[in-house]
Amino acid sequence: MNYLIAGLGNIGPEYELTRHNIGFLTVDRLADKHSLKFDTDRLAYKTELRHKGKNIHIIKPTTFMNLSGRAVAYWMQALKIPLENLLVVTDDLNLPFGKIRMRSKGSSGGQNGLNNINEVLGTENYARLRLGIGNEFSKGRQVDYVLGRFTSEQFAELPAIMDTASDAIVSFCLEGVNNAMNKYNN
């Protein structure tokens, strides 16, 4: 059984440890836990985890956040991934920092990467794992906040959050979206 996990973020050192890149950071954490290395491939950095009879393909689109749909659609087609086996991992301003929420479908919530995926795939009916980054910014400062780096306190908490999110990703592949939601939505 094939799965596609797409961690969203922006490529380049200036974005590396920003709030908007928590999707990249999370799939990096998952890859590290299983001693996997990402290779540059078509429209994405890609690696594969074979785990308990599942082929879990993990990508980090190199198209930049706002064009993530191109990479997701390409890899779904190339690997023949059914929509129900897609999980997108992304940041969420509407959730407090540290909160994770998996959904089987839904709107983009204003997240540009999800907007583009919805547009390219022509549907909102795919699973997503949202990681809360909070919304402690003043009016008109949303972009600076999202593209800003985590506070030192947040940075200290990130490994535990990403470990939980990594476990939720594996649970999605092994047990299905509903069981994963019941287990990990905190």
> 10 Å Cβ neighbour count for 1?
12
Strand residue runs (E) in 120-184: 127-132
Residue 20 appears among annotated catalytic residues:
yes
- 3-state SS assignment for residue 57: strand
Query: One of 20, 34, 51, 57 is an active-site residue; which one?
Result: 20
Q: Which residue reads 């930049």 in tokens? A: 64
Which CA distances in Å does 72 have to 2, 39, 135, 141, 182? 14, 16, 27, 29, 26
**What is residue 60's DSSP assignment?**
E
Contact between residue 93 and residue 39 where contact means Cβ atoms under 8 Å apart: no
CA distance 155 to 175: 30
Pairing of strands 44-51, 54-61: antiparallel
Q: Catalytic residue numbers?
A: 20
